[in-house]
Amino acid sequence: MKPAPFNYVAPASLEATLALKAGHGDEAKFLAGGQSLIPAMNFRLAQAATLIDVNNLKELDYVRLEGGELRIGALTRQRTLERHPLIKHHAPLMAEAMPFVAHPQIRNRGTIGGSLAHADPAAELPVLAVALNARMRAQAQDDERWIAAAEFFKGFFTTDLAADEMLTEVAIPAQPSRTGVAFIEFARRRGDYAMMGVAGVVTLEAASSVCQNARLVYLNAGDGPVNATRAAGLLQGQTLSDSAIDAAASMAADHEIEPMGNIHATPAYQRHLARVLTRRALKMAGERARQRIANE
């Protein structure tokens, strides 16, 4: 199929881009990598009266450290997130998860900002943003604001971005030194949407296996990234024993996620996957945290 007719513009500056968005509002959509938007337009699942190509905005393509935070421009390609040394050192969870995103050809074009703004419940990057306590910088023509990742995603393909705003930057805070991370997902084939996936973050108390803090965030488990706060809370102050991990996995799988099923997996099977993947992720994250303590 072909998309419905639209106007195409390719502004040369962020200021011109924001002015266009202010003028067109919801009738305009940003084109970055186009890996989700263009197929949706071709099938007429999405329509735009005006398509604003933002690929000229090179100032939004960067990875750098600033004020103790990892700052990532919205036009940074997903392949860069997979390979950049600053990502590997300061956000290893992101580096570990990126190879699960579709295929290299998709990651070569897809951007972090595009994926986050698209807010697909089965996508990896929204889950990573919540698990890493990221902040999103939303800019309009005359204003800007920061939005916590936990508040950014509002449901199916819906975010807190206003009609005149553009996501321009992602900020990831430094993680405590005794933190271990793990990302695991299960799909029928490499590159397919996962039937279930989980990002686990575990921070241990010094020189012990007692959990000081934990986060568990799931993809394809609801209408957006599902932050299983009750399950993670069960681990706080507890030794990461098999029984503690099992309790957290059961809490998340039985009471916090809301999988809807599809032609490949029933909700019951997705809950089973969540339970299994959570156990694996917590054990892996806990072991990595212990290794970091041993290396201090």
Same domain, 148 and 68: yes
For range 99-114, the mean pLDDT: 97
Write the DSSP symbol of residue 264: S
Domain harbouring 157, CATH code = 3.30.465.10
Q: Is 279 found in the same domain as 195?
A: yes
Phi-psi region at 284: left, alpha or beta (left = phi > 0; alpha = psi -120 to 50): alpha
Same-domain check for residues 258 and 213: yes
> Count of domains in the chain?
3
* β pairing state of 63-66 and 69-73: antiparallel
Q: Report the range of poorest mean pLDDT among 34-48, 157-171, 229-243.
A: 34-48
Average pLDDT, integer, range 155-168? 97
Confidence (pLDDT) at 206: 83
For the chain, give the mean pLDDT.
96
Q: Is the domain of 189 the same as that of 276?
A: yes
- My answer on whether 211 and 258 are in the same domain is yes
Q: Does any domain span residue 152?
A: yes
Tokens 């029928």 correspond to what residue? 188
- pLDDT for 218 beyond 90: yes
pLDDT value of position 12: 98
> Which of 155, 173, 191 finishes a domain?
173
pLDDT tens column, 17-73: 999 999 999 999 999 999 999 999 999 999 999 999 999 999 999 999 999 899 999
Q: Region 238-266: what's the mean pLDDT?
A: 96
30 domain-assigned: yes
Return the exposure string of 267-289: e unless at least 16 CB atoms fall within 10 Å of the residue's CB, then b.
Answer: eeebbebbbbbbbebbbbbbebb
Q: Are 192 and 123 in contact (CB under 8 A)?
A: no
SS3 201: strand
Identify whether residues 121 and 151 lie together within a single domain: yes
Q: Give me the mean pLDDT over the 205-214 stretch.
A: 90
Give the pLDDT of residue 208.
79
Residues 83, 153, 190, 44, CA torsion sign: negative
**Is it the case that residue 209 has pLDDT exceeding 90?**
no
Q: State the pLDDT at residue 190.
A: 87
Choose one of 173, 206, 230: the last residue of a domain.
173
Looking up residue 18, the CATH number of its domain turns out to be: 3.30.43.10
Residue 208 sits in the same domain as residue 152: no
Contact 68/25 with Cβ under 8 angstroms? no
The pLDDT of residue 295 is: 86
**Dihedrals phi, psi of 124, to nearest 5 degrees:** -80, -40
Give 135's pLDDT tier (boundaries 50, 70, 90). Answer: very high
pLDDT at 167 over 90: yes
Is the domain of 42 the same as that of 140? no
